[in-house]
């Protein structure tokens, strides 16, 4: 059963990656150009605009296809940033223990107590709003869960025979961490990475929805939902499609994570 979920997730994810790569060439229109003659009056789905047009007269399908690339990119890169920060802090805290552990984990507690979205808003204000800012900000906001899990793994690995043996043989800390601890954390890391990707895609969409995501004209799914919110009674399809797109992408990575473990415990 679990492998079934995993397979479904991998297939969905693969399709998403393909779409992100070839999507723009499939797009029937320029995603930023007004192609419908109607401004401020979205047109409903129907040829040649299969998913309709928005209030700026742009083709929703083309925007969705272009948006796939940016959403996936943000999801994956921000995931890498999140993992890098979280793993480093988690490994350091778990492996060294003692004062290092206390200081790092209290810092993690402080960051956990922070309202993450507000932190993100403030950070975006500090840096220039761009794709790069979004990568870093999401990483800075969401590493705490990763750090906690990695720490507890490292904490138990530290007491294992092969680590103690390596230490007795005079191996450096760096060598022990990278040769003995890290490889044993990798299975957990893969699960966290999948969950983290779905988390970052959602967070990116949330930031865009609050109007502080990747700046226009880059079509992002979150911003498409936000722009459609004015028209939700008159043109509900405008928000329905990008929302389903986010759901699809997030579901793909959640399926992978759940397929790998059964339940992605600890991190969400």
Partner 1 sequence: MALVVCMLLAGCVRNDPLDWPAREPGSRRGGVLRLAGPDDVPTLDPALGYDSRSWTYEQHLFETMVTYDDANQIVPQLAERWTISADLRTYTFALIPGVTFSDGTPLTAEDAVGSLERVLDPKTRSQGAEHYRGIRGAAEFAAGTTPHVAGLSAPDATTFTIELDEPDHLFLDKMALMFAAVVPAERARALGDDFTDHPLGSGPFMLREWRRGERIVLARNPRYRRPDRPYLDGIVESAGVNGELAWLMFLSKELDVSGIPPADFPLVMRDPAATGTLVKGPTLVTSYLGLNCQMPPLDDRRVRQALNYAVNKQDVIALLNGRGIPAKSLVPPGMPGYTNDLAGYPFDPERARALLREAGQGDGFTTELWTQGSDLDLKIGQKVQHDLGEVGVTLEIKQVAWSAFLEAIRQPKTVPVFDLAWSADFPDPSNFLETLFQSSRADANNHTFYASPAFDRLLARASDTADPEARNTVYREAERLLVDDAPVIFLYHPISYVMLHPRVHGYTIHALLPSRYTDVWLDPEPASPR
Partner 2 sequence: MRYLAQRLAWAAVILLGTTAITFAILFVVPGDPARVVAGPRADAATLATIRHELGLDRSLPVQYGQYLWRLSHGDLGRSYATRQPVATTLVRRLPATAALASAGLAIAVLIGLVGALVTAPLAGTWLDRAILVASLALLSAPVFWLGMMGLYWIGFRWRLVPLGGAGSLRHLILPALVLGLGTGVYYARLLHTNLQEVLALDYIRAARARGVAPLRLVGVHALRNAGLPLLTVIGLDFASLMNGVVLTETVFHWPGLGRLAFDAVLALDVPMIMGTVLLSAGLVVVTNLAVDVLYRLVDPRIRLE
Residues that bind partner 1 (CB under 8 A): 32-34, 39-41, 55-56, 125, 128-129, 211-212, 215-217, 227, 230-235
Please tell me the distance from the alpha carbon of residue 69 to that of residue 221, in angstroms, as a whole number.
Answer: 10
Q: Is 5 in the site for partner 2 (CB under 8 A)?
A: yes
Q: Is 1 in the site for partner 2 (CB under 8 A)?
A: yes
Q: Is 173 in the site for partner 2 (CB under 8 A)?
A: no
Q: Is 4 in the site for partner 2 (CB under 8 A)?
A: yes
Strands (E) in 34-133, as ranges, are none
Torsion of CA 68, 72, 75, 78, to 10 degrees: -120
Please tell me the distance from the alpha carbon of residue 112 to that of residue 175, in angstroms, as a whole number.
Answer: 30
Residues 6+ apart with CB under 8 A from 152: 94
Cβ distance to partner 1 smaller for residue 231 or 248: 231
Name which position in 56, 155, 202, 215 contacts partner 2 (CB under 8 A): 202
Q: Is 216 in the site for partner 2 (CB under 8 A)?
A: no
Q: Is 176 in the site for partner 2 (CB under 8 A)?
A: no
CA 94 → CA 133, 153, 181, distances in Å? Answer: 29, 7, 10
| Side-chain half-sphere exposure of 27, counting CA atoms within 13 A | 26
Cβ distance to partner 2 smaller for residue 96 or 237: 237
Q: Is 215 in the site for partner 2 (CB under 8 A)?
A: no
Name which position in 21, 40, 84, 122 contacts partner 2 (CB under 8 A): 122
Please tell me the distance from the alpha carbon of residue 151 to that of residue 146, in angstroms, as a whole number.
Answer: 8
SS3 category, 113: helix
Chain residues that interact with partner 2, rule: CB under 8 A: 1, 4-5, 8, 106-107, 109-110, 112-119, 121-123, 125-126, 198, 202, 205-206, 209-210, 222, 225, 229, 232-233, 236, 239-240, 243, 246-248, 250-251, 254-255, 258, 262-263, 265, 268
């Amino acid at each position: 059963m679990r492998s079934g979920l995993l397979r479904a997730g991998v297939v969905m994810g693969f399709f998403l990656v393909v779409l992100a790569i070839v999507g723009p060439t499939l797009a029937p229109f320029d995603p930023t150009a007004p192609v419908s003659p109607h401004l401020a009056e979205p047109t409903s789905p129907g040829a040649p605009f299969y998913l309709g047009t928005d209030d700026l007269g742009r083709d929703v399908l083309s925007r969705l296809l272009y948006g796939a690339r940016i959403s996936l990119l943000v999801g994956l890169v921000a995931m890498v940033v999140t993992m890098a920060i979280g793993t480093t802090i988690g490994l350091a805290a778990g492996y060294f223990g003692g004062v290092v552990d206390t200081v790092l984990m209290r810092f993690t507690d402080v960051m956990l107590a922070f309202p993450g979205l507000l932190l993100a808003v403030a950070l975006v204000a500090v840096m220039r709003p761009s794709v790069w800012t979004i990568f870093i900000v999401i990483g800075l906001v969401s590493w705490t869960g990763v750090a906690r899990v990695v720490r507890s793994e490292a904490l138990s690995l530290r007491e294992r025979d092969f680590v103690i043996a390596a230490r007795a043989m005079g191996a450096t800390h760096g060598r022990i961490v990278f040769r003995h601890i890290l490889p044993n954390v990798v299975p957990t890391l893969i699960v966290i990475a999948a969950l983290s990707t779905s988390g970052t895609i959602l967070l990116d969409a949330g930031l865009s929805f609050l109007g502080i995501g990747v700046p226009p004209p880059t079509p992002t799914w979150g911003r498409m939902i936000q722009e459609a919110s004015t028209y939700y009674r008159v043109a509900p399809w405008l928000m329905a499609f990008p929302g389903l797109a986010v759901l699809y992408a997030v579901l793909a990575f959640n399926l992978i994570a759940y397929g790998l473990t059964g339940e992605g415990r600890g991190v969400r």
